[in-house]
Amino acid sequence: MRKINYFIFFLIFFFFTATSSHSETFEEWKINFSKYAISQGVSEKTISLIINDLTFLPKVIEYDRYQPEFYEDTFTYIGKRASAKKIEIGKQTYQKNSQLINQVEQKFKIEKELLLSLMGIETNFGQYLGKMDILSSLATLSYDKRRSEFFTKELIIALKLIDSNQIKAEELFGSWAGAFGNFQFMPSTILNNAIDYNGDKKIDLKSSEDSFASAANYLAKMGWRTKDKCFNRIELDNNIPLKYLNYSARKIKNKKKLSFFKKYIINYNNDLGTGDEIVAIITPDKEIVENSNLYSPAFIIYDNYEIILKWNRSLRFALAVCTLKDKFNNEL
């Protein structure tokens, strides 16, 4: 019986993904998606309430194709997100919420500087939460072919969260990519990591209490190591084999002991580590900047850096988060 159920699931999924193309209209996609969502456990009641209001949003496709991670060089990207103004607003945010943030830091063993850095880069400390209709954004990206499977799963989860009264459809406004709240959680992140920290029997990711605690919970579950390194900038010798250079965030390859890379690092020193750390090298401008130097800028990355990649799979995003975190170290 279980094998039959798996087979039926496969047929439904194959039919949905196969028909989800630009050969069908968005209205036709909605019909096919409704059937698929019900097969995945979404109630017919929720589908009937939601499906007619889903709208194709061309602006979402435009945003998806023109993300800053796709065109800004590393230092431009970091400079905009780890600015003096950002630090000042972060200090004000901490002063207003210091008791809560210190309590969350102690409970989850996640540095307050990291929490403020992520909140600052994601939403400028809650000032820019996004105004897009999240369900329509997810539907648009599910209908689109670039990352249809990922966004289809996120939309299904969002509908199940509505089903279970964990979130309200009318409150789902956020980023063009379907993220929500002070720390921009995707539906799957809400499902797996959001918590009711203040005990009011609801999860409100726009509130300071639930959002800071949920972000810390997420980072702790992913394995963030307090006080460990994130990255160091290095100067590379041009004789390093190209296979050791990572310029894509999709998968970090060829990790080695730090000591292995010593012969390729011009500015190697004890500040980089003991030599036993398992690290990788990234050169993030290679695929972004036309005619960029293949070997510069270059960075040694550690385990904590890859934790931030799980939050947002962008080499520049992770560099910016860790840079801003380090700047907060001397300010709070």
User: Does residue 297 have a cis peptide bond before it, meaning omega lies within 30 degrees of 0?
Assistant: yes
The predicted model gives 43-55 an average pLDDT of 95
The arithmetic mean of pLDDT across residues 110-133, rounded, is: 97
Instruction: Look at residue 285 and tell me if it is in a domain.
Output: yes
Confidence of residue 22 (pLDDT cuts 50, 70, 90): low
Across the range 107-120, mean pLDDT stands at 98
Q: What is the pTM of this model?
A: 0.89
pLDDT at 253 (0 to 100): 94
Higher pLDDT pick, 289 / 130:
130
Domain contains 20:
no
Write the CA distances from 82 to 32, 51, 122, 294, 318, integer angstroms.
44, 40, 12, 25, 12
Does residue 247 belong to any structural domain of this protein? yes
Task: Give the 3-state secondary structure percentages of the chain, helix then strand then coil, rounded to 5.
Answer: 55, 10, 35
pLDDT single digits (tens) 217-267: 999 999 999 989 999 999 999 999 999 999 989 899 999 999 999 999 999
**Residue 226: inside a domain:** no
Residue 271, domain extent: 231-301
- pLDDT tens-digit map of 224-238: 999 899 999 999 999
Domain contains 257: yes
Mean pLDDT of the chain: 91
In a domain, 275, yes or no: yes
Mean pLDDT confidence for 302-329:
96
In a domain, 202, yes or no: no
Percent of the chain scoring above 70 in pLDDT = 92
Q: How many domains does the chain have?
A: 1
80 part of a folded domain? no
